[in-house]
Amino acid sequence: MQDQVGKQLGNYRVLRLLGKGGTASVYLGEHLYLRNHAALKILHTQLAEQDAERFLTEARMLVGLSHAHIVRVLDFAVQDDIPFLVMEYAPGGNLRHRHPIGTRLPLNTIVFYAGQVASALQYAHNRRVIHRDIKPENMLLDSQNNLLLSDFGLALFTPSSGSYSTQAVAQQVAGTSFYLAPEQMRGQARAASDQYALGVVIYEWLCGTPPFKGTPLEIAIQHLSVPPTPLRDLLSNLSPVVEEVVLRALAKEPEQRFATIQEFVSALVEAAQQAVLVEVSTSSEDLEDDHSGSTGTSGPIWKVPTVLTPLVGREQDIADIRVLLMSPEIRLLTLLGPGGIGKTRLSFQLAAELRSFFANGVCFIQLATIRDPDQVMVAIAHGLDLPEGGVAPFEQVREFLHAKYVLLILDNFEQVVQAAPSVGRLLEACPHVKVLVTSRVTLRLAGEQHVEVSPLALPDLKQLPGKEAMAHYAAVALFVQRAQAHVPTFEVTTSNAAALAEICVRLDGLPLAIELAAARIKLLPPHALLPRLARRLQVLTGGSPTLPARQQTLRSTIQWSYDLLDAWEQHLFRRLSIFVSGCTLETAEALCAALDGEDPGNESVLDGVESLIEKSLLRLPTLEEQEEEPRLHMLETIREYGLECLAASGEMEITRQAHANYYLALAEEVEPKLAGPEQATWLDRLEHEHENLRAALQWLLERGEAEQNMEQALRFGGVLRRFWLVHGHLSEGRSFLERVLAGSEGIRTPVRAKALNAAANIALNQGDVDRAEVLAEEALALYARYARTRQLPILQAEVLPEESLARYRELGDAKGIAFALHQLERVARARGNLRAARLLSEEALALFKEADDQERVAWSLYRLARLNREQGEYSKARVLAEESLAIHRALGNKEGIASALFQMAQALFVSQGDLAMVRSLLAEALALYKELGDREDMADCLYLSSRVALSLGDAATAHSQAEESIALSREIGDREGLSESFPLLARILAVQGDVATARTLYEESLAVARETGNKMNIAICLEGLADMAVAQGVVDPSVGGVQSKALSSLWAAQLWGAAESLREAIGAPMPPVDRAPYERTVATARARLGEQAFARAWAKGKAMPLAEALAAPTKAKDAAPAGQTRASSTRAPAYPDELTAREVEILRLVAQGWTDAQIAEYLVISIRTVNTHVTSIYRKIQVTGRSAATRYAVEHQLV
């Protein structure tokens, strides 16, 4: 295979070769835009079509694997028939490099490695994923020397083959034959195959040589039939128990091995511990004899509270922490997390599972009631049942534990953290003791291993799984378990699943909060409990009386941590609770500086934040955030307590105002940068702060309504326009702007005018042309300080009066006026008055040039390019788009660059230009839009890509891209985009033979176009309906109600006439790219009817009102020559009771409980149209209400 260095694969540039194997090569790649590194695994051979599909199917599965010891698969693709994976880059090399062939490893090191591998494999096996290629080369090391298992799914890199022959086996095992299980060589890999392979690796590590040697084929035959050499023949001092465990994993039959990979490694750990005990038994017995009077117990210590309920959702945590505690290098491990996260319960489970690992026992020490650090050693001595005497507690404990293998669990260490040095000295003096600490703060000792205990796994509220899958999320499973203690019949159902998911999310996945909520289930079922969680701390009380007092209410648990803070930390904690979804350190410092003014005091925000993180009141940044700008997070339950404290301190109002001031200043600072080369970065910054922006907007709105002062809210709305548009937050932006404009009526300032322009811009994107016109005209009037509205005859005259605009130009803000004219240009264009739209754009261009606003000059050129294209002046359109592109490139405005490229592509495509150039322009534009997260314009690119694919005869690709465009437009509520995409989808469906659905889509698109007054779309829909009429026919009652080609052609001619009339009125000719299929269909209809009848129908349609043109003819006898009225056999898909495809779609939504308004929004039709459909459905199926309609849908298997 040729070298890939310097080439581009997907979004990655290949930098250098990392390694090469028999089936694939691994390269270091750099992301083209993010500049981060990844490992690219590239196959050496091309895949056949069926193998490529298998590769993609399995790769999708691998992307879902997320585990601390598994290399993450970030992306995958097939490029030029060559599949490749994009994986997390592990810079530490692999274990084969770390321990070359022939190296023997100490048993404790082997146990350490095996534990990490087993943890990863058990996670995969639980998800029915088999690795298939376990070997040291696939055990990588990250920058912290953590083991990462790579290359899951050997099948991904093996072309499919049904043969099983000596030659096939030889090819399959090449390069991996040392480690393949017998059944895997027979093509029957299973989870036990990974256990066998790990057993081979451990065998090799123990004695420095693999169990079998020879050629790959000879090794394969030995794996199938020859037992391995006993380990004790090679290592005479090896414990027979260890040998027994390893050889069991190497059994030829999978059923004779351990039941799971975790069971195998647990047995290995136990065997290793027994081996250690044999070595130290003599010295331990001697020491126990010397101190036989120091304790009243004999045998291993076991002083751990008994737990009566099973631990839920911590299986992976237990597996990972077990590995750490069994590592010889780790002596002190601290479980960190806020109160209620489940640290203590986790320690109980770890104690139970590690009981056999610690030969002299496990002892749990509860420190919650202790406040004096000097009493910690006293408590440990008491927990170990050491008698009180004249010896200092530390010396007494040290002497007792000196030679023992013991695990000490110190629970709730946070309030006695000053005792940490004595714990450190104890570990130094007792080499076989390990300490597991649960704490809300770190001990800050050398060698301390921190484990942040995370909340329980939560479902995604945006994509809720079914009730069966929902019950497997740990947070939901815990709620159900604890609820069943009060209501034994409680379970996840279809009706309560969504509420349960939201309850668990509202409670941050905190086990204590979930248990307290579940305790309310007798009185408050999920739907009743959910709204009460708006005040969590008042609801979550009444915990079990067996719990400590601090854990019987959620408020008490958080207050425990709050009370441990000093005055400055409490002050900072209250302030930081104002942030929603976190903040950066810089933001926290800015807020405190604004609140403290000229007297900041001596306290450091940085030190305070660090202390709050250590005390588990702030959460550590994620790995992804650490690579960017770290954000400080607070669990919502903790934040609610902080807000309560903020309100009680009397600091709420001043803090909210400072918060709003900061984010308004940020938005105003960012606004001009959204037109420059770093716009993607700044848009991302605003997206990260989206929740805080919302909170600030809400505060300013509330305060403005109360104090009759909306200036700050108006400023905010004006500057966030581009963020809302590009990132698709249209409904949110529109809602805020409408509310703030309603609260500021009568105010005549440029600030209000800017907000009006923003609202008009968003309204147009949502297809609300009437409202946009009102808003834009008011903005124009305010900018010009010429108070009148709706007096510009923009849409009533063919020519905009020059004297009116001249007065506006003389009186006001040129930029503001020009931007308002832009919105009015879009109104005129939507209404079909392209001449007025062009004049408005030209006037806006002149004003922007006067103001020397190059960005807006470029956008004006873009709009003029679009108008020229729609009016058939394609060469001029391309020239204008190229001018726009040149300016945007000079400014570094990626959104503008992409838009100009898109406009150039459109002009080329519709004028039948170079399709290769069209696709190149589109690819560059789409890449830029994706970088910006601009879903609206991504949808536009997909729309045009779909048209290109359709023109090339690839209807399947066209359909997929049109659907993707529609999905994006729906996500952001872009009715304008949908109004263009639906007619295209209808055309594609017609090409694919689904004429009935295509016709329905055209009809509903026409309804939307008529509602918004979009004459261009009306003409396109009329032409589409005409095509459908010719293809499908219309009913002729005079010949028994069958389809009539003559009637259909008559109606088509009538519709084409009406469409031509509209195109002539708005000055928008049909583009060349559409003319050939149009003329073929016209010729078909003309041939059916004859020239005279066709011409009469065309002329009639051109002259009649639109409503009449849409009425299909009902008589065909004089419409066509004799012999041409035979019925067509084309029929729509059959549904019960003559329901149409659209009626069935709406009935399904009704049966699912959707309201008329929801259906209208989803299908992008009016509520009135939905009502019409529902009435028709009820009449046809003879029901009178939704319940009966739902029963009908179920009985007829429509849902």
Q: Is the pLDDT of residue 113 over 80?
A: yes
Residue 1129's pLDDT is what? Answer: 36
892-939, pLDDT tens digit by residue?
A: 999 999 999 999 999 999 998 889 999 999 999 999 999 888 888 999
Q: Is the pLDDT of residue 87 over 80?
A: yes
Distance of CA 195 to the CA centre of its chain: 34
Residue 432's pLDDT is what? Answer: 92
Q: Into which CATH architecture does domain 1138-1195 fall?
A: Orthogonal Bundle (1.10)
CA distance 489 to 510: 24
773-783, pLDDT tens digit by residue?
A: 889 888 888 87
481-511, pLDDT tens digit by residue?
A: 888 888 888 888 888 888 999 989 888 888 8
Q: Into which CATH architecture does domain 8-87 fall?
A: 2-Layer Sandwich (3.30)
Q: Name the percent of the chain lying above pLDDT 90.
A: 34
Domains 565-650 and 1138-1195 share a fold: yes
Q: Is the pLDDT of residue 813 over 90?
A: no
Residue 620's pLDDT is what? Answer: 64
973-1002, pLDDT tens digit by residue?
A: 887 788 889 999 999 999 998 988 999 899
Q: Is the pLDDT of residue 162 over 50?
A: no
Lowest-confidence segment of 7-11, 568-572, 838-842, 1117-1121 by average pLDDT: 1117-1121
Question: H helices of 812-934, where?
Answer: 814-831, 834-850, 854-870, 874-891, 894-910, 915-932
What residues contact 718, with CB distance under 8 A and at least 6 apart?
A: 751, 754, 755, 757, 758
Let me know: does 887 contact 854? Beta carbons within 8 Å.
yes
* CATH pick for 293-452 out of 4.10.1240.10, 3.50.50.60, 3.40.50.300, 3.40.50.720: 3.40.50.300
Q: Is the pLDDT of residue 194 over 90?
A: yes
Q: What is the mean pLDDT of residues 843-850?
A: 88
Let me know: does 424 contact 445? Beta carbons within 8 Å.
yes
430-451, pLDDT tens digit by residue?
A: 999 999 999 988 898 999 999 9
Residue 686's pLDDT is what? Answer: 92
Residue 809 host element (H or E): helix 802-811
Lowest-confidence segment of 233-247, 277-291, 706-720 by average pLDDT: 277-291
Q: Is the pLDDT of residue 1019 over 90?
A: yes
Q: What is the mean pLDDT of residues 859-874?
A: 93
**Residue, of 988 and 220, whose pLDDT is higher:** 988
Residue 1188 host element (H or E): helix 1186-1195
Q: Is the pLDDT of residue 159 over 50?
A: no
Q: Which residue has the tokens 């592509």?
A: 905
Q: What is the mean pLDDT of residues 43-58?
A: 65
Return the structure tokens found at 954. Answer: 């690839």
What residues contact 45, with CB distance under 8 A and at least 6 apart?
A: 1, 23, 159
Residue 1074's pLDDT is what? Answer: 92
What average pLDDT does the chain have? 82
Q: Which residue has the tokens 């004779």?
A: 256
Residue 1167's pLDDT is what? Answer: 76
Residue 600's pLDDT is what? Answer: 60
CA 1019-1024-1028 angle, to 5 degrees, is 145
**Residue, of 874 and 679, whose pLDDT is higher:** 874
287-330, pLDDT tens digit by residue?
A: 344 443 334 445 688 898 877 778 888 888 888 888 888 888 89
Q: Into which CATH architecture does domain 565-650 fall?
A: Orthogonal Bundle (1.10)
Residue 451 host element (H or E): strand 448-452
CA distance 1036 to 1118: 13
Domain ranges of the chain: 8-87, 95-158+166-274, 293-452, 467-547, 565-650, 993-1131, 1138-1195
Question: H helices of 546-622, where?
Answer: 554-563, 567-576, 585-596, 605-614
Q: What is the mean pLDDT of residues 650-659?
A: 94
Q: What are the distances in angstroms from CA 899 to CA 32, 457, 865, 1174?
A: 21, 41, 11, 41
CATH class, range 95-158+166-274: mainly alpha
CA distance 86 to 39: 6
- Rounded-to-5 percentages of helix, strand, coil across the chain: 60, 10, 30
Q: Which residue has the tokens 């702060």?
A: 689
